[in-house]
Chain A
Amino acid sequence: MKQFKVLGTGCAKCLKTAEMLERISKELGVEAEVSKETNIEAIMNYGVMSTPAVVLNEQVVHSGSIPNRDIIENWLRQ
């Protein structure tokens, strides 16, 4: 089971990122849990400065933009 966390203070791009993660994991039939982290203190503790950022199983794997489809599929297939 893959646990994704989308870090971001609620901007449109962060919502889009979370939505894409959910949709693509469903399409590929990979079990994944997507949550959003909007607490700024928690985001800071991940050491992330540009949002949206994506955390996969407590590892920051992406930051600063909406990840594209290829990257997301890669995470899911790992």
Chain B
Amino acid sequence: MLSFFSLLADWLVYGLLGFSAETRLGNALHFFVEDTAKIFVLLIIMIYVIALIRASLNVERIRNYLAGKHRGIGYFLGSFFGAITPFCSCSSIPVFLGFTSAGIPVGISMAFLITSPLINEVAVLLLLSLLGWELTLVYIVVGMAVGILAGAFLDLIRAERLLQPFAAKAYEKSQPIQLQEVALQRMSLTDRHNFAKTELLDILQRVWKWVFIGVGLGAALHGYVPDGWMQENLGHGQWWSVPAAVLVGIPLYSNATGVIPVMESLIVKGLPLGTTLAFCMSTVAASFPEFILLKQVMQWRLLAIIFLLLLASFTLVGWVLNFVELMW
């Protein structure tokens, strides 16, 4: 089914516009047209369908569900809900505080917050359509593992001591929340349709420019980086390329939608899988703007710990995956 988009790009770029498939520009343009068309069509269909299904899910319900769960399963659930709940980064502070004041351990809240930007339905969808299910699975497992382990580690070092005083107090004073039953009214199909429509417009408004930027970069890489160059210069032999990729990813700030088309190009061009993932996850999760937001509820020391923790885990993930890929 997806070959339709390749044909569309053939027709438009090579036929109508008369570019040659042999030239770099033609190649890059073809990649750009094929991917943007494919991504937008898939986004529109899938966001709508997924929003229909998950219309009745909200953070209040998740909090009530997570509160009082055993820690072991709590990290997993926190990360899992982070993956399936949509939420915009401007909500991360209220969500964090809401969890904390319900007595949910900091580690579980952080498992939620770390996984949330890394994995969402748009990212999974793009991965599936651009890179196939095996890599999608690797991406999901790695993203959740980072969230879960980082969360567990933060509780191990008793991170709640390093919250801002008012947040720490809220955590101490927390009582088993009075489950003010979050209006569990059934949603009619019309309600769901309205929710899905708003959600679709909202997400599209937020991500459309990232799709263009991401695919544009991917197309440039695709057309202009000579085949084999990556393998020679950033291939398996160079252990330092993984931490370097993580560092390069920090100042680059993108969400998952923008980075996945770039991932596709990098992998096609022969950059090792681990290095690619390390770079992309660092771009998405380790971003200064988000961390500055968290400053409102955390002390600098805790922020620094979380930041380093993320960098270390992405590097580790990169090395392990590269090693596995080499042994395969």
Contacts and interface: CB of A to CB of B under 8 A. Distances in A.
Contacts of A44: 94, 97-98, 101, 170
B93 A50 contact: no
A25 B114 CA distance: 40
Contacts of B166: 41
Nearest to B89: A11
Interface residues of A, number: 15
B5 interface: no
B94 A48 contact: yes
Interface in A23-53: 40-41, 43-44, 47-51
Given A50-B94, A65-B198, A40 B297 contact: yes
Interface residues of B, number: 22
Contacts of A41: 166
A43 B94 contact: yes
Contacts of A65: 198
Given A11-B88, A65-B198, A40 B59 contact: no
Nearest to A13: B90
Interface in B243-287: none
- Which of A13, A43, A49, A50 is packed against the most chain B CB atoms within 10 Å? A49
Interface of B: 58-60, 63, 87-88, 90-91, 93-95, 97-99, 101, 166, 170, 180, 198, 293, 296-297
Interface of A: 8-9, 11, 13, 40-41, 43-44, 47-51, 64-65
14 contacts: A9-B93, A9-B293, A9-B296, A40-B93, A40-B296, A44-B94, A44-B98, A48-B94, A49-B59, A49-B94, A49-B97, A50-B58, A50-B60, A51-B91
